[in-house]
Amino acid sequence: MSGICLFVPKEEMLQQAHHILEQEDYIIDDIKFINTSDAVSEARSALASGINIIIARGYQASLIKQYTKIPLVEIVLTGQETGILITKAKKLVKKENPVIAIIGFRNMFQDPNLFLSSTEDSIREAFKVAQKMKYMSDTEMKNIAQLETLLDYSFSGIIKMNNEGNILIVNHVMQEILQKRADDVIGKHITEIIKDIEPNNIEEVLTEGNNVYSTFIRINDIALVVIIAAVKVENKIDGAILSCHRVKKIKQVETETFRELYLSGYIAQGDFKDIIHFSKEMQKCIGLARVYAQSRNPVLICGEIGTEKDLFAQSIHNSSLYKNGPFVSVNCYGITDEMQSNLFFGDSAISSSEKEQGALAMANHGTILIHEIDKMSMNCQYRLVKAIRYKSLIRNDVEKTMSLDVRVIATTTKNLSAMISEGLFREDLYYILHGLIIDIPPLRKRGEDLEYFLDSYIKEYCNMYSRYHVLTTGAKKILLGYTWNGNIIQLESFCERLILTANHRTLDEIYVTNLINDLYPSIHTKSIVNMPVSYKNPEAQTLMYVLVRHNGNRALAAEELGISKTTLWRHMKKYGIANKYESFNGNSQE
């Protein structure tokens, strides 16, 4: 523990100090009379002997503070001492109204010819301050010792970081998990060492402080649950603590079996790092998916056609405890109840043959991905509920069962709750699936992602076909405003067609609008422009499209098309758009 030493420049102060210690219960380990020239060396010697706090005054205190980093308590000049000093000075000069100057050394006053004698008050006050510092120092040392013990003997990996996310402390367990020494990670940013942690989530913890970030990751093939919480001191964020612990392993698939699964194609290739995203909406979805990966319960992934449902499912599997098991993907669409029974439960034969045992049995100790679960028959829904709840597989409604440990991930483009009211989906299966749900937003609601994919596909197909084409600002604006009901699938195929058939380097809004109308006439009419008719003339189609986008505001439409309002009106009358637009929209006012 910390010790206290008093340095005094005058022997009479020794007597005052001893007198105080006789009267009051202060613990002072050493009291020394020293020369000012020896102040720094004496302070260093005291530190080496176990002293942690020094009490000094005047110039001695100034020297110790200037040349060492030892905690220091300065003896402060009291009002009584100032009065004593002035009285002595008056007696010394023997004048009734002398002019007296007091020269200050920091918090202590002294005259070259007159040494100020401290009273017991100032020494007593210094003792009080030193005792408080000693208590705080001892408490801090105890806390540090407890923290070191916790870090050394904890079964969890622990990292302490500052409020910028840089690593300050890493315990032995975490070093083993990372397979790195403390010297290799201390001072580096947490995301540099653990790359699966999203920087934005770390920033939220370190700036807002109220959020606790939890995720599931793998480091060196070790499955870990990670929790990051902010450290607050007097309501200010002083950093964060990351703790992680190993997740209990499930039964592993034998090496030879895993090899057969790989050759059969029952392997998930996708990972969270493969999900390209720049939008906050997708960032939230990925955060949820990472958390869900640590569970063994079913996950439901909702989203339109062409969203990244399959990639999310593969990523969850590859970040879960089932990573080393099979990943079996099946689709319910377009097959009868009997075919579904055979597909999922192997009803065609009671056999151990891989081809006859059914998808659930083939996915044992792994993951089954059920595409379009809304198309699953009611009979198969019932049997799936039993398989999930009781972790056993009953084949062909006979009593022969097998133990089942399968992670179920299902996808749908439908509103399952609405299907319950129509009698098309079981309510118990709905509640089983709706515990862990991910709703992937469509591309049109992820502006940053849409723009990235549009630019990427244009560049990709320009390179593929050795072309050079550029979208005008208006053309790009139209494409970014389109609904893309087929999402990434539709966007990619559209961009290939756009580049492959383009005859001009500059692709304007008329060209892209015509292509949208040609490729998706019914979808385009219903979803984006909402027109009652489709015009064969490309210019008429473009005019109608721009007018509807601006809710009939001719000034804005003319500005986008780069023509005057008069010219726009003339073209509208030419193609009969004015009357039809007014009857459709009910408003063509500016």
Question: Which residue, of 226, 246, 266, is where some domain finishes?
Answer: 246
Instruction: Say if residue 305 is in the same domain as residue 412.
Output: yes
Q: Spell out the SS3 assignment of 285-329.
A: HHHHHHHHCCCCCCEEEECCCCCCHHHHHHHHHHCCCCCCCCEEE
Neighbours of 231 (CB within 10 A): 17
CB–CB of 40/65 below 8 Å? no
| DSSP secondary structure, 229-269, as one string | EEEEETTEEEEEEEEEEEPPPPPPPPHHHHHHHHHHT----
Instruction: Say if residue 295 is in the same domain as residue 407.
Output: yes
For residue 203 the two structure tokens come to: 């920033």
Instruction: Say if residue 467 is in the same domain as residue 576.
Output: yes
| Residues of the domain holding 172 | 155-246
Question: Which residue, of 391, 415, 439, is where some domain finishes?
Answer: 439
**Cα–Cα dist 66/63, whole Å:** 5
The answer as to whether 291 is a domain residue is yes
The answer as to whether 150 is a domain residue is no
CA R_g for the chain: 39
CATH number for the domain that contains residue 394: 3.40.50.300
Instruction: Say if residue 234 is in the same domain as residue 294.
Output: no
Neighbours of 329 (CB within 10 A): 19
DSSP 8-state secondary structure symbol assigned to residue 95: -
pLDDT on residue 250: 53
- Residue 81: what residue type? E
Instruction: Say if residue 163 is in the same domain as residue 86.
Output: no
The answer as to whether 590 is a domain residue is no
The answer as to whether 493 is a domain residue is yes
Q: How many domains does the chain have?
A: 4
Instruction: Say if residue 112 is in the same domain as residue 201.
Output: no
Instruction: Say if residue 435 is in the same domain as residue 523.
Output: no
Instruction: Say if residue 402 is in the same domain as residue 273.
Output: yes
Residues in the chain, pLDDT under 50: 1, 107, 109-116, 254-255, 258, 262-263, 349-355, 523-536, 580-590
The answer as to whether 445 is a domain residue is no
**Is 0.75 surpassed by the pTM of this model?**
no
The answer as to whether 344 is a domain residue is yes
CATH number for the domain that contains residue 225: 3.30.450.20
CB–CB of 55/66 below 8 Å? no
Residues in the chain, total: 590
**Cα–Cα dist 289/286, whole Å:** 5
Instruction: Say if residue 431 is in the same domain as residue 322.
Output: yes
Per DSSP bridges, beta strands 437-439 and 299-302 are: parallel
Beta strands in 472-563 (DSSP E): 506-507
The answer as to whether 173 is a domain residue is yes
Find where tokens 């392997």 sit: 267
Instruction: Say if residue 308 is in the same domain as residue 380.
Output: yes
Instruction: Say if residue 198 is in the same domain as residue 114.
Output: no
**Cα–Cα dist 432/385, whole Å:** 8
pLDDT on residue 356: 58
The answer as to whether 377 is a domain residue is yes
CB–CB of 211/223 below 8 Å? no
- Residue 36: what residue type? T
CB–CB of 443/481 below 8 Å? no
| DSSP secondary structure, 176-202, as one string | HHHT--HHHHTTSBHHHHSTTS-HHHH
Question: Which residue, of 217, 246, 275, is where some domain finishes?
Answer: 246
Instruction: Say if residue 17 is in the same domain as residue 52.
Output: yes
CATH number for the domain that contains residue 104: 3.40.50
